Amino acid sequence: MVDESDKGLDMLEELKRKREHIHQMGGPKAIEERHKKGQMSARERIDYFFDPGTFTEMGLFVKHRTIAFGMDQREVPAEGVITGFGTVNGRRVVVAAEDYTAMAGTFGEYHGRKFVRAIEFAKENGWPFVGMNDSGGARLQEGIDALESYGWLFRSQILASGIVPQIALLMGPCLGGQAYHPVMQDFLIQTKRTGFMGIAGPAFVKTQTGEEISLEELSGYRAHAIRSGQTHVLAEDDADCLDKCKELLSFLPSNNKDKPPRIRGDDDPERKEDLRSLLPEHPYEPFDMYRVIEKIVDRGHFFEILGLHARNMITGFARFNGRPVGIVASQPKWMAGCIDIDAADKGARFVRFCDLFSIPLVTLHDSPGYLIGSEQDWGGILRHGAKLLFAWADATVPLIAVILRKSYAGAHYGMLDKAIGADFVFAWPTARITIVGAETAASVIFAKEIREADKPDDVRAKRISEFSVMYENPYRAAERGYVDDVIDPADTRKAINRALDVLEGKCVTRPWRKYSNINL
């Protein structure tokens, strides 16, 4: 007769054995190969990311059901993706980490189902979702089942968009249709040497188009952090990628109903800084807007988004008196701070993200306008430029604008002004606010007079001066109520913090609609 207690012990031993077997992933040799390439295994990434002892795995025993092409003999531990939840700096986060040691982390039907369950679980609980992408792509042996699983995944993350923050970590290859998954999330952090992403790999590109190109050139960080603007943050390696993800999460609320996490600050909210000295004497001479940002935010700390792409516009997160705030700023050192197609797209998406998650926005202006010329016109600058206008007008979060120098033409409202929705607009005495610069205006309005004058240069100079005095200075805009106050640059931090204080409870009611038909 078998003792029931012995049966129970046998069952527990079997459970322990099964769990340990799956936890070995692709085995010691495969994990060692990861280490040789400077990469962590999927479970090591999870251990590093979560607070010690807080991770709970979901779906450990999930297995594929494919029998074709020898798959009935193929074991794929945890179906090539580890899913679960835990705490990161004390806050709940859900993760899906692809395991390259398990059949190259290929995406099959149940691999996809696990991903979908993790995203839906995050949405249901109101917790951020982080995807750690490291996969050889679609599991071709599963055919239509793998194909359909992509659709489930895409739909699940789209329906979770705007409800919980979604961050993709590109820590290995991510090629083919699967690459849509990370770019459809809110932010993508790519490791510099091991993260690759593309709609097709080099071999497939050569087969289909005849083009010969390396994986690094086609799908590496230069392709996406600099050219395409699909990588928001660049990381040196796995540890740096995970650290940057933790830092990004620290600025974000857990969901769209929570407030952004405010911390206890130790930086005087009304601290004065000598900012005027940062500006050159001539209004068209460039200066570095990063220096202004560092002077006015808490402890000079700025977490930049898309820092290598469309560098004429700066976007990122900082804190004012402990509050997370999104910053959108012109960069006069790059293309004179003009707004081109890429800058408009970059700014608009960042504004919309901040609005979705109740993060106030502060802008710093010094832009002569939208970039003109045939290349921009034919590329759709009007359509792309309008995205910024949609984003600002739709936004319901606190909106604060600071005009440092030029705020001309379309850039005046593209960088946020009163008419498009700003709650507060502050201007430095150096601000120039009008439809075009005095030189341009005078050459149009007084063209005939200048042309026919005995001394054209004298007339031109006189008319430029008259137009500048009449329209360019910030006091004319302040007289009309388009600027709330002309401030000493040293008081910029104080003005922003006081504005944020009074806008704390901002509430906007709009007529019902599904959403605005933004130009895409």
Q: Tell whether 518 is covered by a domain.
A: no
Q: What is the DSSP letter of 80?
A: G
Q: Say yes or no: 194 and 157 in one domain.
A: yes
Q: Tell whether 122 is covered by a domain.
A: yes
Distance CA 347, CA 316 (A): 10
Catalytic residue among 126, 177, 265, 322: 177
* Domain boundaries, position 353: 276-431+473-502
Let me know if 162 is a catalytic residue: no
Q: How many helices (H) and strands (E) does the chain have?
A: 20, 17
Q: Tell whether 268 is covered by a domain.
A: no
Residues of the chain with pLDDT under 50: none
511 Cβ contact partners less than 8 Å away, ≥ 6 residues apart: none
Q: Tell whether 214 is covered by a domain.
A: yes
The two tokens of residue 391 are 């984003």
Per-residue CA distances from 286 to 278, 306, 415, 422, 519 (Å):
10, 21, 18, 26, 31
pLDDT digits (tens, 9 = 90+) for 55-67: 999 998 888 888 8
Catalytic residue among 136, 410, 414, 421: 410
Q: What is the DSSP letter of 489?
A: G
Identify the CA nearest to 112 among candidates 75, 74, 77, 83. Answer: 83
The two tokens of residue 240 are 């740096």
The two tokens of residue 392 are 């600002």
Q: Say yes or no: 440 and 379 in one domain.
A: no
Q: How many CB atoms lie within 10 A of CB 23?
A: 13
Q: Say yes or no: 10 and 143 in one domain.
A: yes
Q: Say yes or no: 246 and 356 in one domain.
A: no
Q: Say yes or no: 228 and 100 in one domain.
A: yes
Q: Say yes or no: 53 and 142 in one domain.
A: yes
Per the CB < 8 A criterion, the answer to whether 404 and 366 are in contact is yes
Q: Say yes or no: 26 and 45 in one domain.
A: yes
Domain count across the chain: 3
**Token pair 């900012």: residue:** 275
**Pairing label, strands 81-88, 424-427:** unpaired
Q: Tell whether 204 is covered by a domain.
A: yes
Q: Say yes or no: 285 and 186 in one domain.
A: no
Q: Say yes or no: 76 and 223 in one domain.
A: yes
Identify the CA nearest to 43 among candidates 62, 18, 26, 64. Answer: 26
Let me know if 414 is a catalytic residue: no
Q: Tell whether 263 is covered by a domain.
A: no
What CATH number did the domain enclosing 283 receive? 3.90.226.10
Let me know if 410 is a catalytic residue: yes
Q: Tell whether 517 is covered by a domain.
A: no
Let me know if 104 is a catalytic residue: no
Catalytic residue among 176, 195, 337, 414: 176
Of 201, 218, 251, which residue is a domain's last?
Answer: 251
Q: Say yes or no: 443 and 481 in one domain.
A: no
Distance CA 382, CA 70 (A): 54
Q: Tell whether 519 is covered by a domain.
A: no
194 class by beta-carbon count within 10 Å (0-12 exposed, 13-18 middle, 19+ buried): buried
Q: Say yes or no: 22 and 142 in one domain.
A: yes
Catalytic residue among 78, 200, 409, 411: 411
39 Cβ contact partners less than 8 Å away, ≥ 6 residues apart: 134, 171, 172, 194, 237, 238
Per the CB < 8 A criterion, the answer to whether 208 and 221 are in contact is no
Q: How many CB atoms lie within 10 A of CB 519?
A: 15
Q: Say yes or no: 460 and 479 in one domain.
A: no
Q: What is the DSSP letter of 359?
A: -
Per the CB < 8 A criterion, the answer to whether 397 and 360 are in contact is yes
